[in-house]
Amino acid sequence: MLGASVKGYSLKPEKESLFNQVKKDLKCKTVFADIRDRKKLEKELLSFEPDFVFHLAAQSLVRPSYQIPIDTFEINAIGTANILDAIRKLKKSCAAVIITTDKVYENNESGKAFLESDPLGGYDPYSASKACAEIVTSSFTNSFFNLKGYKSHKKAIATARAGNVIGGGDYSKDRLIPDIYKALKEDVSVKIRSPKSVRPWQYVLEPLSGYMQLAALMAQEPQKYSSAYNFGPEPRDILDVETIVKSAIKAFGKGNYKIEELKNMPHEAKLLSLNISKAKSNLGWKPMLNSKQAITKTMLWYKNALVKNTNIFELCKKDIHDFTNN
Ligand SMILES: NC(=O)c1ccc[n+]([C@@H]2O[C@H](COP(=O)([O-])OP(=O)(O)OC[C@H]3O[C@@H](n4cnc5c(N)ncnc54)[C@H](O)[C@@H]3O)[C@@H](O)[C@H]2O)c1
């Protein structure tokens, strides 16, 4: 919509996916391949000569990371190294935003809102692999993209650590909003396993606009902006799962839920909160929607998408227009 030429690189999408819903209207080059395939990745990146790289590809879920820890580390840590190494070989300027997560912080669940300068950690393989991605990025930055030598290498690299993202078009397994949508669509009760878990929930276009804002500023003033940033909601929007479920049901207009606290579940942090002052003061970014608005927009997207003959691409475009006009 901003007139950029875009190339995407990812695994083949699941059958039920936003990509498949919009692909006939998408005007971007698409490559289906693995970021662990270093040669292919390098070839595709170098031939496209991007001005900007947004690295989002990941094994992005906590619970599956307990089942496939080695894949999770390979994709999230080595995959990030592969991308940075391909960027190192680019013979032109490039600003890259490496998306990690708010789960990269050493979390003793004290309720403290994490600052970018806080120590990295990670209990489960997903969180630890993303903390590894941060360390890999820091090593590449120090070794190859040192800001003191920017004039010769012309690469600006930053990391972005986002809180929990919600929005229409997410059909992932084992995620709260897609689980709510699937239950409401099938007219069954929403089952929630950790009603009191607290997370920084935010509408999907909030962090995406932050990543773009960050990349644009990095291209102008790399020395000033290339570092790590948290993107999350305001503190009042750091809510527990049960509150989210109640709001989602209200916005969807029907449904109910039951709590099924499962025993012997692998560890998942119950409390996580982010301090977003750096993104606010340095980038001029701030969240536009509160959590109630984010949940309402998300559930309305799913509701509209269920209406026969809805053009999903137009639905997404309208949401982007509404958000940017805000
Ligand atoms: N969803 C959230 O709440 C959230 C919060 C913070 C950070 N993040 C991070 O943001 C990014 C995007 O999250 P999402 O929710 O869209 O994730 P997603 O799981 O919906 O999408 C991940 C994408 O990565 C691709 N991918 C996975 N493994 C790959 C591989 N080996 N090679 C190439 N492509 C591969 C998939 O094909 C998919 O397109 C991820 O890095 C995730 O860790 C997500």
* Tens digit of each residue's pLDDT (9 = 90 or more) over 61-118: 999 999 999 999 999 999 999 999 999 999 999 999 999 999 999 998 888 899 999 9
Does 150 have pLDDT greater than 70? yes
Where are any strands of DSSP class E within the chain? 7-10, 29-32, 52-55, 94-99, 113-114, 155-162, 165-166, 190-192, 198-200, 202-203, 228-231, 238-240, 257-259, 273-274
* Tens digit of each residue's pLDDT (9 = 90 or more) over 164-189: 899 999 999 888 999 999 999 999 99
pLDDT score, position 161: 98
Q: Looking at ligand 1, which residue's alpha carbon is closest to its atom 8? A: 101
Ligand 1 atom closest to 37 (CA)? 32
Q: What pTM did the predictor assign?
A: 0.95
* Tens digit of each residue's pLDDT (9 = 90 or more) over 281-325: 999 999 999 988 999 999 999 999 999 999 999 999 999 999 999
- The DSSP H or E segment spanning 87 is helix 79-88
Does 6 have pLDDT greater than 80? yes
- Cα(114) to centroid of ligand 1, in Å? 22
pLDDT score, position 189: 95
* pLDDT band of 326, cuts 50, 70, 90: confident
pLDDT score, position 267: 80
Pocket of ligand 1 (CB under 6 A): 10-11, 34-36, 56-60, 75, 79, 99, 101, 162, 164-165, 172
* pLDDT band of 239, cuts 50, 70, 90: confident
Q: Looking at ligand 1, which residue's alpha carbon is closest to its atom 41? A: 56
Q: What mean pLDDT value characterizes the chain?
A: 94
Ligand 1 atom closest to 34 (CA)? 32
Ligand 1 atom closest to 55 (CA)? 41
* pLDDT band of 270, cuts 50, 70, 90: low
Letter string b/e over residues 259-297, b meaning 16 or more CB atoms within 10 A of that residue's CB: eeeeeeeeebbebbbbbbebbeeebebebebebeebbbb
Does 138 have pLDDT greater than 80? yes
Ligand 1 atom closest to 79 (CA)? 31
Does 260 have pLDDT greater than 80? yes
- Cα(137) to centroid of ligand 1, in Å? 17
Does 29 have pLDDT greater than 80? yes
Ligand 1 atom closest to 60 (CA)? 43
pLDDT score, position 222: 97
Q: Looking at ligand 1, which residue's alpha carbon is closest to its atom 5? A: 164
